[in-house]
Chains A and B, each alone.
Chain A
């Protein structure tokens, strides 16, 4: 009986110790858990989705200025923190900024108005948002950064940005090919 009690208490202590050890060792894994506030994430996703639809209508009507203004307001608005809604919110913001840059670049063949501001906006998003899991939105933004740098005759920096985009897309492709039916 005593042996059994000792054995079971040993196992219980070990289990608790193991979980505690693993918990401290896997900080990154904890970050990967679902967002704390799913309601906020869903509300944000719905809002961004709806704004994209409105931008579709504005673009269709040829109102590029209106579309750009809408995307700027969205990109510059208050966004919930990554800690609260998870990494998906950062991806969504990259999507919005990417679409904004694309519209600006398509509007003018040469150097777009406020070119420095566009480049700064792109760099701020890519630098401030830290390391992210591979995703198509950030990859596109890196590619657009390359395009902007290329127009500024900073070809070496452009090549670096293209490489980042290419690498991220490759990781995504590898994962998708594994999932392919």
Chain B
């Protein structure tokens, strides 16, 4: 009887350990669930630059889908759109069409596009990313993502061209690595925070807690920037 009881206890313990470790794995995976979302880069060229009418059609379709799923009865997530799609927005479409893909939900933080292929400018850029700077950064990135086709030099042999193409491909792969993209985006955010914190600390020069946080933020910014550099940013000298 005692032996049987021991077996039960042991089996329970083994099962518990196994189950808990599986559950922990699940928790750690959850932290990056946002990266599972559909990325705009996966879309075709036509889908990447939709018109505002196309976007509104899509929104209407998604709203209907959500209502059908029972999320919001008569008040879907986006209620009305009157007054949105002004003439200026239409004018912007053609300009916007030259930009890179619009950011996905997961990429919308602190102008991540700005850091996709660029080391954050720790000392130069503004304290926090603004919508205007984000738009500008996207335009910059577009030039990186879609460089004008280089005309082959007449004297270049095939091997050189192939090597250059391979190097470009490698650089593009490095730039598109999702972990590197996230690290560089995070660097932008951390260094922006550091600037704000240290500016605040300057106003409280006699208070240690402000100085401590400024120091910590500086360390984090340097660490993040170093990690971003490791990603082989083509713009890093």
A and B: bona fide binding partners: yes
Give the interface of A toward B (CB within 8 A). Answer: 6-7, 10-11, 13-15, 17-19, 21-23, 25-26, 28-30, 32-33, 37, 39-40, 43-54, 56-64, 66-67, 69-70, 73-74, 77-80, 86-88, 91-92, 95, 98-99, 102-103, 105-106, 133-137, 139-140, 143-144, 146-147, 150, 155, 158-159, 162-163, 165-166, 169-170, 172-173, 175-177, 179-181
**A46 and B92 form a contact (CB under 8 A):** no
B66 interface neighbour in A47, A105, A181, Cβ under 8 Å: A47
A98 interface neighbour in B102, B109, B220, Cβ under 8 Å: B109
Looking at chain A's contact residues, the main secondary structure is helix
Bound Cα distance from A150 to B231, whole angstroms: 34
Instruction: Beyond A29-B20, A73-B79, A166-B217, list 20 extra A-B contacts (CB 8 Å).
Output: A21-B15, A25-B20, A49-B40, A53-B102, A54-B59, A56-B96, A57-B89, A58-B92, A74-B78, A102-B130, A102-B131, A136-B186, A144-B128, A147-B196, A159-B210, A159-B213, A169-B193, A173-B186, A173-B227, A180-B230
**B33 and A28 form a contact (CB under 8 A):** no
**A177 and B227 form a contact (CB under 8 A):** yes
Q: Do A53 and B66 contact each other (CB < 8 Å), given the known contacts A28-B27, A33-B26?
A: no
Q: Do A95 and B193 contact each other (CB < 8 Å), given the known contacts A47-B77, A173-B186, A177-B227?
A: no
Chain B contacts for A28, CB-based, 8 A: 27
Q: Mark B124-166, 1 if CB is under 8 A from A, else 0.
A: 0000111110010000000000000000000000000000000
Report if B224 contacts A (CB, 8 A). yes
Chain B contacts for A78, CB-based, 8 A: 71-72, 75-77
Bound Cα distance from A133 to B16, whole angstroms: 24
Q: Do A146 and B230 contact each other (CB < 8 Å), given the known contacts A21-B12, A44-B71, A166-B216?
A: no
**A99 and B108 form a contact (CB under 8 A):** yes
A57 interface neighbour in B93, B109, B192, Cβ under 8 Å: B93
**A88 and B33 form a contact (CB under 8 A):** yes
Chain A contacts for B224, CB-based, 8 A: 169, 173
Bound Cα distance from A165 to B189, whole angstroms: 9
**A52 and B196 form a contact (CB under 8 A):** no
CB pairs A–B below 8 angstroms (27 shown): A14-B8, A15-B12, A17-B8, A18-B11, A18-B12, A18-B16, A18-B19, A26-B19, A29-B26, A46-B62, A47-B62, A48-B77, A52-B108, A54-B55, A57-B92, A60-B89, A62-B88, A63-B88, A66-B84, A69-B84, A70-B78, A73-B80, A74-B78, A88-B34, A136-B34, A163-B213, A175-B32
**A155 and B62 form a contact (CB under 8 A):** no
**Tally of chain B residues near chain A (CB < 8 A):** 95
Report if B114 contacts A (CB, 8 A). no
Q: Do A176 and B227 contact each other (CB < 8 Å), given the known contacts A44-B66, A79-B77?
A: yes
**B34 and A91 form a contact (CB under 8 A):** yes
**B75 and A39 form a contact (CB under 8 A):** no
Looking at chain B's contact residues, the main secondary structure is helix
B183 interface neighbour in A26, A40, A176, Cβ under 8 Å: A176
Closest 9 CB pairs of A and B: A14-B11, A18-B15, A29-B23, A78-B72, A22-B19, A61-B92, A18-B12, A61-B88, A77-B77
Give the interface of B toward A (CB within 8 A). Answer: 4, 7-16, 19-20, 23-24, 26-27, 30-34, 37-38, 40, 50, 52, 55-56, 58-59, 62-63, 65-66, 69, 71-72, 75-81, 83-84, 86, 88-89, 91-93, 95-96, 102-105, 108-110, 128-132, 135, 177, 179-180, 182-183, 185-186, 189-190, 192-193, 196-197, 200, 203-204, 209-210, 213, 216-217, 220, 223-224, 227, 230-231
